[in-house]
Amino acid sequence: MSKNDRMVGISRRTLVKSTAIGSLALAAGGFSLPFTLRNAAAAVQQASEKVIWGACSVNCGSRCALRLHVKDNEVTWVETDNTGSDEYGNHQVRACLRGRSIRRRINHPDRLNYPMKRVG
């Protein structure tokens, strides 16, 4: 293949460079905003909202501790245990994503509210 037959445009090297720079720029901008908003929302807690401790029960057996934020008898926000020190050597049990999504299962309109009858 001669130099004249070579395609003019972006080379593989410039594509990899620009992709790396673009992903770093997106990551740097994306990491700061959600965490600052969440910390600000957690710091401002209304008086009508209660925090109740519960346990995860999604058939994994570990029963991770959950902090349930309840407003008007409805779970509005679920967070994992963030009490205690988070230093090396201290085992702090944190709930997985399945446990943290318990709010969606509790408030889902299609969930079972009573035992079903066996027919047949």
* % the chain with pLDDT above 70: 77
pLDDT in tens, 27-86: 776 655 445 555 555 555 555 788 888 888 777 777 788 888 888 888 888 888 777 777
- Quick one: how many helices (H) and strands (E) in the chain? 3, 3
Q: What is the pLDDT of residue 41?
A: 54
Q: Which of 119, 120, 102 is nearest to 111 (CA)?
A: 102
pTM: 0.47
How far is it, in rounded angstroms, from Cα 95 to Cα 86?
Answer: 15
CATH code of the region 46-111: 3.30.200.210
Query: If you average pLDDT over residues 88-97, what whole number do you get?
Result: 75
Mean pLDDT of 11-17: 88
Backbone angles phi, psi at 114, to 5 degrees: -150, 160
Closest CA to 106 of 64, 65, 78: 78
Please enumerate in sequence order all residues whose Cβ is within 8 A of that of 37, keeping only pairs 6 or more positions apart, or say none. Answer: none
